[in-house]
Amino acid sequence: MKKKEDDEKTGQCQCEHGYTRRGFLASVGVGAMAAIATTSKLSSAKEASPAELSAEKAVVVTLLVNDRTHRLLVEPRWSLLYVLREHLGLTGTKVGCERGECGACTVLIDDLPRNACLTLAVEAEGRRITTLEGLMQGEELGPVQQAFVEEDAMQCGYCTPGQIMSVEGLLRARPQPTPAEIRQAVSGNLCRCGTYPHIVKAAARAADLKAKR
């Protein structure tokens, strides 16, 4: 009993495991300070260095898209795909693998098919960019688009914009391609529905429509 009274006077309770209230509170305080110090270090580590911050500063670029000039404020890391869709509203260019393997984001840059996901927006400055929307004449479909409809060269349709742009690029370089050249031209465009025979037919039909126009 005397021991308990002494403990109450001193504010210390010697328990069976050798801990005291004062010792416990002291250890909790040390742990809290350690946690705060660790959090502070992590926060400091997350802060970007001046060099990293300057690399991400937005720059002004002028893009010629579908014969229209657009002056935009972009970050150097933004892809052409992102800028076309999110800043210009040209959603005909599809987001697929985003690593240059599926071809869904194919556009023409100076008449050559390119993966927009692998092209930085700043790289495209001063170049002539053509997207799916740029093939239309008002509300009228372009020859390649019309040929894809006529030959039923689509099922789910997600890969179709990229397929059309690859065929358009081919026909601008070779107005009358062979079946082998058509297959080669769309070899970088994946179609999970497997409509490749119809795509080849559509490309040949588009060549005829372009010749008539």
* Count of Cβ atoms closer than 10 Å to residue 208 Cβ: 12
- H-run or E-run covering 31: helix 21-46
Domain holding 116: CATH number?
3.10.20.30
Show the domain range for 181: 136-212
Please indicate, yes or no, whether residues 63 and 79 belong to a single structural domain of this protein.
yes
Same domain, 145 and 115: no
Strands (E), the chain: 59-65, 68-74, 106-109, 112-115, 128-130
Rg of the Cα trace of the chain?
Answer: 32
**How many angstroms separate the CA atoms of 41 and 120, rounded?**
34
Q: Give me the pLDDT at residue 43, please.
A: 44
Mean pLDDT, each 10-residue run in order, the chain (213 residues): 50 51 55 49 43 66 98 97 98 97 98 98 97 95 97 96 98 97 97 96 97 89
Are residues 38 and 19 located together in one domain of the fold? yes
Q: Are residues 76 and 127 in the same domain?
A: yes
pLDDT score recorded for residue 27: 58
pTM: 0.74
Distance (Å, whole) CA 209 – CA 18: 93
Tokens of 21: 């209230």
Provide, for the chain, the percentages of residues in helix, strand and coil under a 3-state DSSP scheme, each rounded to the nearest 5.
50, 15, 35
Q: Could you tell me which residues come within 8 angstroms of residue 129 by beta carbon, excluding any fewer than 6 positions away?
A: 63, 64, 65, 66, 80, 84, 107, 108, 109
